[in-house]
Amino acid sequence: MIAVNGLKKRFKLTKEAASSNSSRDPRQRDGYFNSVEEVSFTCEGNEVLGLLGPNGAGKTTTLRMLSTALTPDAGSIHIAGHDIIKSPLAGRKAIGFLSGTTGLYGRLTAKENVEYFAKLHGLKGRALKSRCESLYARLDMESFLGKRAEHLSTGMKQKTNIARAVVHEPDVVILDEPTTGLDIMTKQTIIQFIRELKSNKTPVVFSTHHLDEIALLCDRICLIDQGVSCFDGSIEQFKSAGQSEELNDAFLNIINQGRAHV
Ligand SMILES: Nc1ncnc2c1ncn2[C@@H]1O[C@H](COP(=O)(O)OP(=O)(O)OP(=O)(O)O)[C@@H](O)[C@H]1O
């Protein structure tokens, strides 16, 4: 289970950025940019949660805090029984994280990249082989396993990155925009992979701008606007709060309702 409560994260701005009047974002105050002001949500073992929000809302910053890459200024994060702010190392073992900027070693093949990370997580011998082979099959990677990462297409790189992120069979999986820039077939493979994680009772949190993926995959939605989670609940509750059966309309209505109250 994932439970996130009252997260906050701000970044100190350079003098030039702080004194510039160009930002109309109310989160820029007193020399800081308050990227995440108040984010809370939960995701149970058999659930997939979609993290939604306009560009710059604070989704990546939130996911980076969940992955332990960033330390929150306030709030709590509990993942699979670990307080990951107090015990980031234990948390890291429990989390599989795909970031938008995850890099692969260009000179290693796709297979070598995945197996290198498997070894870092302590896998070896038959356990390593069978875990990796299962991932290669599920992510349809066999045709390019021997290619160097620097020569892989965007979709091949993304599949390799996902395999690398989950090779240690994490308790929870966190994916930052996993399908951005991918073709329909690669997207479908990744959607099917997320479904399999769900059927194995692994909670998944992923950020996206694609509401069709939310409709296909998610049990819950957390909608972040200007650093604040203005909705956290089921798809049905989302449609009801947004007064529309169309996810697009519900999205816009919830954002507008939230901004009208500020
Ligand atoms: N290190 C930083 N210093 C200053 N501002 C930052 C820093 N990191 C992020 N921000 C700002 O915080 C806000 C939230 O950024 P974030 O990347 O979390 O948004 P996002 O919801 O993931 O957006 P997108 O959908 O465009 O990927 C943005 O305005 C961004 O410019």
Q: pLDDT 10s digit of each residue in the chain, 262 long?
A: 899 999 999 999 888 877 776 667 789 888 899 999 999 999 988 899 999 999 999 999 999 999 999 999 999 999 988 999 999 988 888 999 998 777 899 999 999 999 999 999 999 999 999 999 999 999 999 999 999 999 999 999 999 999 999 999 999 999 999 999 899 999 999 999 999 999 999 999 999 999 999 999 999 999 999 999 999 999 999 999 999 999 999 999 999 998 887 6
* Cα dihedral 143, 190, 165, 133 in deg (nearest 10): -40
Whether 2 contacts 43, CB under 8 Å: yes
DSSP string, 208-254: -S-HHHHHHH-SEEEEEETTEEEEEEEHHHHHHHTT-SSHHHHHHHH
CA separation, residue 140 to residues 36, 156, 252 (Å): 36, 9, 36
> Relative to the CA of 177, which ligand 1 atom is closest?
27
- Atom 12 (ligand 1): residue with closest C-alpha? 35
Structure letter (DSSP) for residue 55: T
- CB of 179 shorter than 6 A to ligand 1: no
What confidence score (pLDDT) does residue 262 get?
A: 66
CB of 33 closer than 6 A to ligand 1? yes
Nearest CA among 25, 46, 27 for reference residue 35: 27
What pLDDT does 21 receive?
62
Q: Which residues contact 192 (CB under 8 A, 6 or more apart)?
A: 138
Question: Residue whose CA is closest, atom 27 of ligand 1?
Answer: 55
User: Is the CB of 58 inside a 6 Å radius of any atom of ligand 1?
Assistant: yes
Give the distance (Å) from ligand 1 centre to CA of residue 64: 11
Domain boundaries, the chain: 2-103+173-260
With 0-12 CB in 10 A as exposed, 13-18 as middle and 19+ as buried, what is 262?
A: exposed
Q: How far apart are CA 69 and CA 172, in angstroms?
A: 16
Nearest atom in ligand 1 to 35's CA: 12
Q: Give the closest residue to 178 by CA, choosing from 96, 57, 254.
A: 96
User: Rounded to two decimals, what is the model's pTM?
Assistant: 0.93
Coil vs helix vs strand at 261: coil
- Considering only CA atoms, which residue is closest to atom 1 of ligand 1? 11
**Ligand 1 center–CA 96 separation, angstroms:** 21
For the chain, the straight-line distance linking the first and the last C-alpha, in angstroms and rounded, comes to 32
- DSSP for 74-136? EEEEEETTEETTT-HHHHHHHEEEE-TT----TTSBHHHHHHHHHHHTT--HHHHHHHHHHHH
Q: What is the Å distance from ligand 1's center to 80 Cα?
A: 27
Which residue puts its alpha carbon closest to atom 7 of ligand 1?
A: 11
Task: Please check whether the domain covering 2-103+173-260 is classified as CATH 3.40.50.300.
Answer: yes
Gap from CA of 60 to ligand 1 centroid (Å): 7
Pairing relation of β-strands 2-12 and 74-79? antiparallel
State the pairing for strand pair 204-207/172-176: parallel
155, 109 Cβ separation under 8 angstroms: no
3-state secondary structure of 24: coil
Distance, CA 226 to ligand 1 centroid (Å)?
10
Does the beta carbon of 56 sit less than 6 angstroms from any atom of ligand 1? yes
CA distance 243 to 237: 10
In this predicted structure, what is the pLDDT of residue 116?
96
Given the CA of residue 54, which atom of ligand 1 is nearest to it? 25
